[in-house]
Amino acid sequence: MSGFSQSLKVKTFNIDSGKVICVLNEIDAKELGLFPGDRVEIKSKRTGKNCVAIVDITSSMVAENNIGFFNETTKLLGVKTHQLVDVSATPMIKSVDFIKKKMRGEKLSKEELDEIVKDISDNRLSDIEASAFMSAVYMKGFDIDETADMTKALIENGQKISFDVSPVVDKHSVGGVNGRATMIIVPIIASQGLYMPKTSSRSITSAAGTADAMEVLAPVNISFEKIKKITKEVGGVISWGGSVDLAPADDKIIKIEHPLALDPEGQVIASVLAKKASVGSKFVVIDLPVGVEAKIKDRKIAVRMARKFVEIGKEIGMEVEAVITSGDEPSGLAFGPALEAKYVLEILEGKRFDNLAKKSCELAGAIFELAGLAGTTKGYKKAVAILKSGEALKKMKEIIKAQGGKIDSSAKIIYSPLNQVFKAEEDGIIQDLKVHGFTKVARLAGAPANKKAGVLLHKEEGDKIKKGEPIYTIFAENKVKLASAISYAKGNPPFVLKTVVLKKIK
């Protein structure tokens, strides 16, 4: 705005603010005509480095003629306390105009989205600005061009990683509920010579994430180099995504979306596909669970999203198949890391073949079809055959060993002796097993932090049950949490038992 420049003395604070900001005394801010949220250019004569920082203003934290830096800014400038820097006001950055443009409902170009993603990635946008952008995207949406351009911008501004093997395949579940399909799909796929280096998440609101459950069997905190090595050796990896930084811009966008649970469709698609592209995935199956308890409530929306996934995939040279699945009933009957891990091993060992096993074979089959390893509609049968033959179990044992784990059979996972069985009080039919209800009980019991805590169901939806038969068991690692979970479960039964006698009035 104005042409002022001022020389100020650095005061460093050993704080990670996550943003490139500087703190000015209100007197200097007035002198420079600055307001909180404005930007300044800062130059260090000593190091020759410069950066643009967002202004915060204080009356006490930083004295007049001083300027406060947190770690991000200190590092960019390479300066120390008491050194001098030159500070001058800068005009708004271009991204801010593009954000305003989106707020007005106008379409953004590839170049404009690129600029925004670059600025988010380099911490140049304040939370206020980034939130305005995500709000605008949420409220105005991305059309198909913008979704494709956003996907490309995320890919270009992230790391591109090559696994030196081909073809790499992947699957992703959008807003799935529970169920560890990944731990069944990866060994099925890897046993046939395809490469599936999977990075999974830990639980945020569920009883266990794939990374939490896999961690019961083997370490999941695996460096990128090691992921590469294991993939070449055994074809598959199930690691925690947090240990490798694949898509820094996307992680920052998710952080902005989280507080208000914003999940604009276009951004979800761009975010998923960019992550897959960054690791060179060629064939990708997208699982879209639909149901009242799933993220996607409406089948029409799932169909629309499925088409977009396929179309954007084409644009970035990726073969995508989207599979719409039922997100209402639990996938598998276990809630909690150890319980889910044991459950998955039992499926691989041929001891169970339930809806989780079926769903996993559907998704693995879709990958086989995409990759040309099975004819159209033949994928599912191929996956089931591999699962039943024991090939998948053999591969899973190789993966566990390669990741440095030792728990490779369900028998090695012992249930916690601290538990409470809930039995049917009358004869009836089990109806409406509530995923969110069981998740809540499992978390109160200590999952996912307490690995052996959780809930195991003994019946599926539609099963007949006799009075006195067990419906589900809560496991915990300590008595306080067990009591808390029991108390909640009694007050909020996570299932409906349909009986002949509906109510007794005395």
User: Applying CB under 8 A, what is the total number of residues that bind a second copy?
Assistant: 58
> Least CB distance from residue 440 to a second copy, whole Å?
8
Q: Of the listed pieces 10-18, 142-150, 192-200, 289-297, which binds a second copy according to CB under 8 A?
A: 10-18
In terms of C-beta density within 10 A (0-12 exposed, 13-18 middle, 19 or more buried), how is residue 315 classed?
middle
Q: How far apart are CA 51 and CA 405, in angstroms?
A: 46
Order the strands of the 319-326 sheet from edge to edge.
168-173, 281-290, 319-326
Q: Which is nearer to a second copy, 138 or 415 (CB)?
A: 138
If one asks whether residue 489 binds a second copy (CB under 8 A), the answer comes out as: no
Which spans in 122-181 are helix H? 127-140, 144-156
Q: How far apart are CA 216 and CA 210, in angstroms?
A: 10
If one asks whether residue 444 binds a second copy (CB under 8 A), the answer comes out as: yes
Q: Of the listed pieces 108-116, 162-170, 200-208, 299-307, which binds a second copy according to CB under 8 A?
A: 200-208
If one asks whether residue 13 binds a second copy (CB under 8 A), the answer comes out as: yes
Could you tell me how far CA 431 lies from the centroid of its own chain?
Answer: 30
Cα dihedral 277, 281, 282, 284 in deg (nearest 10): -90
If one asks whether residue 417 binds a second copy (CB under 8 A), the answer comes out as: no
259's CB contacts (< 8 A; 6+ apart) are none
If one asks whether residue 21 binds a second copy (CB under 8 A), the answer comes out as: no
Per the annotation, the verdict on 170 as an active-site residue is no
User: Which of 9, 46, 49, 100 touches a second copy by CB under 8 A?
Assistant: 100
Q: Of the listed pieces 95-103, 147-155, 348-356, 415-423, which binds a second copy according to CB under 8 A?
A: 95-103
If one asks whether residue 302 binds a second copy (CB under 8 A), the answer comes out as: no
If one asks whether residue 107 binds a second copy (CB under 8 A), the answer comes out as: no
* Amino acid in position 501: V
What mask of x and - would describe binding to a second copy in positions 33 to 52, judged by CB under 8 A? Answer: x-xxxx--------------
In terms of C-beta density within 10 A (0-12 exposed, 13-18 middle, 19 or more buried), how is residue 463 classed?
middle
What mask of x and - would describe binding to a second copy in positions 445 to 484, judged by CB under 8 A? Answer: ---xx-------------------------------x--x
If one asks whether residue 138 binds a second copy (CB under 8 A), the answer comes out as: yes
Q: What would the two tokens of residue 215 be? A: 């961690």
If one asks whether residue 3 binds a second copy (CB under 8 A), the answer comes out as: yes
In terms of C-beta density within 10 A (0-12 exposed, 13-18 middle, 19 or more buried), how is residue 377 classed?
exposed
Q: Residue by residue, what is the 3-state secondary structure of 409-422?
A: CHHHCCCCCCEEEE
If one asks whether residue 96 binds a second copy (CB under 8 A), the answer comes out as: yes
| Local structure of 208: helix, strand or coil | coil
Q: Which is nearer to a second copy, 14 or 377 (CB)?
A: 14
Q: Which of 86, 263, 328, 463 is catalytic?
A: 263
Q: What is the CA radius of gyration of the chain?
A: 26
- The residues assigned a catalytic role are 263
Residues that bind a second copy (CB under 8 A): 1-4, 13-16, 18, 30-33, 35-38, 56, 58, 60-61, 96, 99-100, 103, 105, 126-132, 134-136, 138-140, 202-205, 255-256, 258-262, 440, 443-444, 448-449, 481, 484, 488
